[in-house]
């Protein structure tokens, strides 16, 4: 049943305009049911967002596919993800690039996701517990950057960690009902240009880290 639902989802993504076969194949290879709570396994291949705890969600597959396609990822690239969540987006990215570096602010999510990715053998993904809005200087520069929660403005510190060929994809918006997925790209003169892609609705991006052991 799940496999049939996965095939149906990939066909739906094609109908919604996802044309990059590498992206579609990457999504087809990732077992989305492994990234959602057991209670939602029957909905794993519905084109919808699902809760994963801590007020976070796993994005709907069409948004994951669209964001991934917009990044134009090459096989030798390094990608930085801000907001690991359950690890689904990172898993999709991992099939397209050399290495994914991902940062999660919730310590419990970080631990469970690290365990999940290890068990599923996504060996080219490295995640850490930290404040994603500070980036990951030790691993910079990055060819691509993706933010998986909505932010009003991308911090300069993240742009500073991008390579010359950099592309950034992020949901931007001051209000939950006024968010746009925006693509940033370097122009020939080195300055950053941007393009609004489509309206979206994401949970808000927050700074700092959350240590559940301390909070409790």
Active site residues: 59
DSSP string, 50-61: EEEETTEEEPPH
Angle of helix 21-29 versus helix 2-15 axis, rounded to 10: 160
| Residue 208 burial class via C-beta count within 10 angstroms: exposed 0-12, middle 13-18, buried 19 and up | exposed
Q: Which of 144, 97, 141 is nearest to 123 (CA)?
A: 97
**Kind of pairing, strands 78-82 and 99-104?**
parallel
C-alpha–C-alpha distance, residues 99 and 201, integer Å: 28
């Amino acid at each position: 049943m799940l496999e049939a639902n996965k095939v149906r989802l990939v066909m739906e993504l094609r109908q919604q305009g996802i044309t990059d076969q590498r992206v579609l194949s990457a999504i087809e290879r990732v077992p989305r049911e492994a990234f959602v709570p057991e209670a939602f396994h029957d909905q794993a291949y519905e084109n919808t967002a699902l809760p994963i705890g801590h007020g976070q969600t796993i994005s709907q597959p069409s948004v994951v596919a669209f964001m991934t396609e917009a990044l134009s990822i090459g096989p030798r690239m390094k990608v930085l993800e801000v907001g690991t969540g359950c690890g689904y987006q990172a898993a999709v990215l991992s099939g397209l690039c050399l290495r994914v570096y991902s940062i999660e602010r919730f310590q419990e999510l970080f631990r469970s996701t690290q365990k999940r990715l290890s068990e599923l053998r996504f060996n080219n993904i490295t995640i850490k517990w930290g404040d994603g809005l500070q980036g990951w200087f030790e691993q910079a520069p990055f060819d691509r950057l993706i933010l998986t929660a909505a932010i009003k403005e991308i911090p300069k510190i993240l742009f500073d960690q991008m390579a010359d060929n950099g592309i950034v994809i992020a949901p931007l918006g001051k209000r939950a009902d006024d968010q746009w997925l925006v693509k940033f790209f370097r122009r020939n003169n080195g300055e950053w240009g941007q393009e609004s892609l489509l309206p979206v609705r994401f949970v808000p991006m927050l700074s700092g880290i959350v240590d559940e052991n301390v909070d409790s």
